[in-house]
Amino acid sequence: MTVRRKEIHLAAHFPGVNNTTVWTDPRSKSQIEFSSFEHLARTAERGLFDFFFLAEGLRLREHKGRIHDLDVVGRPESLTVLNALAAVTDRVGLAATVNATFNEPFELARRLATLDHLSGGRAAWNVVTSSDAFTGENFRRGGYLDRADRYTRAAEFVAVARQLWDSWTPDGVPRPFAHRGRHFDIAGEFTLPRSPQGHPVVIQAGDSEEGREFAAATADVIFTRHGTLEAGRAFYADVKKRLEKYGRGPDQLKIMPGVTVVLGDTAAEAQEKAAGIRRQQVSPQNAILTLEQIWGVDLSSYDPDGPLPETDPVPDSSLTQGRTRHGDNVAIAEKWRALSKEKGLSIRQTVIEASARQSFVGTPEAVAIELETFVRRDAADGFILVPHLTPGGLDEFVDRVVPLLQERGAFRTEYEGTTLRSHLGLSGPEGKQ
Amino acid sequence: MTSSHGRGLLHLAAAVDQRAVHDADSYVELVRLAERGGLDFVTLDDTFARPGPDALAVLSRVAPATSRIGLVPTVTTTHTEPFHVQAAVATLDWVSRGRAGWRIDVSATESEARLFGRRPSRTPDFARAGGSPWPADALWQEAGEVAEVAAKLWDSWEDDAEIRDAATGRFIDRDKLHHVDFTGSAFSVKGPSIVPRPPQGHPVRVVDATEGTARQTAAEYADVVLVRAVSAAHATAVRDQVRESAREFGRDPGDLCVLASLVVDLGDGEHAAEPGHGGGGPRPTAQGPLYRGGPVDLAELIAGWYTDGTVDGFHLTPAEPRRDLERLVNGTVALLQHRGLFRTFYPGSTLREHLGLARPANQYAVAHAVTGGAS
């Protein structure tokens, strides 16, 4: 008896508001025109991807009290674009990142159910909880939730949304709902019958302890950070193990790291292209900015081609706003200075050397094998591909890697179902179908 | 280009509301039909109070399936986030390439407040009596503030803010992005928007000014004013009041396009209007002024109110969506075209162009110019 091969799931991330997205390349097109979104979504569908993914940011990033101007900035509102994309695609899933802090369950559940109806069952919601007073300044509720509250609010939010999605009878009669909890106290009637998926797919992004637990309890997909095969295996085992206590099977939560891919006809050519892209991503101005984000002080007098500052970072600086922080800045500064000294690197070279390399670099064959290895060895269930170019950044992957994955029996050769749940191999919401 | 009131071409719009329809195809079909008739725009109403999908989402879904017609969803302002509302409307303008409008409305019932839970009734006696948790004039004042902050946020990116200057490494010129620092009676917004300035500058704002409580907001912010009028005299009275009020707000009253809103029941085919319709004119019903009769008589009515300067055009809600929209397009519109009163093709591509409205200057760019354009 042959064991069915574990299939890879793929998603396409529209190039976002950060310096992964290269805008100086002549092939880089509009970040706002609908045609760019249409191109990438159609490319994803041509490649039989599970879903197309949009990120969100609710306040433009600021640096030194001014709007950050070096990276791509500005984007359309996700759900509105996805509804339009539903008109120009037939099968690919449509995932929107929407903040659970700066929205209300009734309205958002309704918008997500509407997308699911209008797309014939292709809607997904990436629940994010990031909330800070800086972003709150754009919203009625303003303010700030501490980390624990963010997740309890998000968990209650998702539970309420599902209650609303379930509120009509199977034969289309509205039933009143009522919910009283710590964060929400609402009652009434939902405005939509059950949508084709029952519940739109729920995605959770983030690797923190709270994030993992939240995902295990609630999510259908976890959008995680990519690392080594071993780190991926450890994360995968940890998260899948948590499912049991919520009465869920290991197949009910798909683990999909965000990855970047660089292809070349030879390994050397791919490496050369990858290095070139990193140089584009880290412009001289961006190198200084990256340093300022770590040092927390103005470094505009430093030469990007010169040595790193000798001074130590200022802790808890508010120089940069609206950006997620990672780790201890003093330790990072020390590490970077050591790196610079050891290899004789300038500021810009150090930033390029120290910042993340592309996840998969090589010939289409090598990349296909590596992707399959990650999935077969349980470091992932699939990947969310983050191209560096808008909108053609996945053309080559779809043309050259997808057919190889198909030849290897690791990826679908046609969509079997019509809904995103069916692409992801997720069962419908229990007891409701 | 900016015509004085009533003397531009006739403007026609139709509602594409349908009861208990959640799939995309039937909406696409109706809007395409309206587009075939060359109508200025379609509206899709929305409320949290009764069944139906999110209207802005539906018209976004329709946008790529149509090419010229304006798309005007209702988006309410009472329980929604102003920042999200303006971003969604701006995005509809992007995905439709300049065809978005926004029909502004409020949520006045206690039952809608309960769906959100965060706005407990402050006047329990009033609410117990089945009324609104808040008085309608306060809700409309807030709607005006939302319209105001939306315009500021649409302007918070100047049109040429994106520069992609490789030499200096800058994607945008941040001097062309602006904090809006808006503080209203119940909310505040810092800005700038996350969405670059939409193709029309400001998507077209539509307000139904029939009720007195909405009239100030209509006068101050609306590009298109709807009046549910049972007679030409009624329409004239509301129109004059809104125009006068607009003048007080420092606007050119001719910039407001006033449309009479009627429900139309063309089910009797070619038969003349029912007796009691006052020569084919509308009569009051619970659903608003209703015209019942044939497409020919409706064309007469439209031509009459338009040529005597009562209104700039009509916003028509088919009583039976498909049947009456078909009769409207194939009958009434065809007649009006034949008489040279209505366009036979779209000379422009944006909703503002259809309505003869100029693309608004950016309030922040104007401020630059006034202060000598320094920096």
Interface confidence (ipTM) of the complex: 0.95
Helices marked H in A314-380 — which ranges? 329-343, 347-354, 364-376
Q: How far B195 CA sits from the closest chain A CA (Å)?
A: 5
> What fold is seen in the domain A9-263+360-423?
TIM Barrel (3.20.20)
The three-state secondary structure class of B97 is coil
pLDDT tens per residue, range A262-316: 999 999 999 999 999 999 999 999 999 999 989 999 999 999 999 999 988 987 7
CATH level 2 (architecture), domain B11-107+200-370: Alpha-Beta Barrel (3.20)
Structure tokens at B23: 């799939």
Check A187 against B90: CB less than 8 A apart: no
Q: Tell me the residues of chain A between 25 and 54 that have a Cβ less than 8 Å away from chain B.
A: 32-34, 38
Tell me: pLDDT of B276 over 80.
Answer: no
> Could you tell me which residues are beta bridge partners of residue A67?
A62
Residues of A in contact with B192 (CB under 8 A): 60, 67
Phi, psi angles (nearest 5°) of residue B41? -160, 165
- Kindly state whether B162 is in contact with chain A, defined as any CB-CB distance less than 8 angstroms: yes
Query: Least CA distance to A66: which residue of chain B?
Result: B174
A vs B, Cβ pairs < 8 A, gives 181
pLDDT of residue B128: 45
Average pLDDT over residues B129-147: 82
- According to DSSP, the β-strands at B70-76 and A62-63 are unpaired
Question: Which residue has tokens 């808008």?
Answer: A390
B84–A23 C-beta distance less than 8 A? no
Could you tell me the pLDDT band of residue A65, with boundaries at 50, 70 and 90?
confident
User: Among residues A88, A156, A148, which one has the least CA distance to residue A122?
Assistant: A88
Q: Measured at the alpha carbon of residue B225, what is the angle toward residues B222 and B227, in degrees to the nearest 5?
A: 150
Q: Which helix (H) or strand (E) holds B193?
A: none
Q: Kindly state the DSSP code that residue B100 receives in the 8-state scheme.
A: B
**pLDDT tens across B290-335, in order?**
999 999 999 999 999 999 999 999 999 999 999 999 999 999 999 9
Decide: residue B157, CB within 10 A, 0-12 exposed, 13-18 middle, 19+ buried: buried
For residue A382, the distance in angstroms to the closest alpha carbon of chain B comes to 29
Rounded mean pLDDT, A86-106: 97
Break chain B into its structural domains and give their ranges: 11-107+200-370
Contacts of A390 in chain B (CB under 8 A): none
Residue A324: CB partners within 8 Å, gap ≥ 6? A130
Chain B: nearest CA to A319, how far in angstroms? 17
Count other C-beta atoms under 10 Å from residue B42's C-beta. 27
Q: Do B54 and A80 count as a contact with CB atoms less than 8 A apart?
A: no
> Cα(B65)–Cα(B152) distance, rounded to whole angstroms?
30
Average pLDDT over residues B75-102: 98
Query: Are the CB atoms for B92 and B100 separated by under 8 Å?
Result: yes
The whole-angstrom separation of Cα B155 and Cα B153 is 5
Chain A residues in contact with B87 by the CB 8 A cut-off are 76-77
Beta pairing class for A62-63 and A66-67: antiparallel
> Best of A42, A64, A72, A118 to disrupt the B interface by mutation (most B CBs within 10 Å)?
A118
Q: Does B115 touch chain A (CB under 8 A)?
A: yes
Q: A249-271 pLDDT, tens per residue?
A: 999 999 999 999 999 999 999 99
Residues of chain A with CATH 3.20.20.30: 9-263+360-423
Average pLDDT value for residue range A1-16? 83
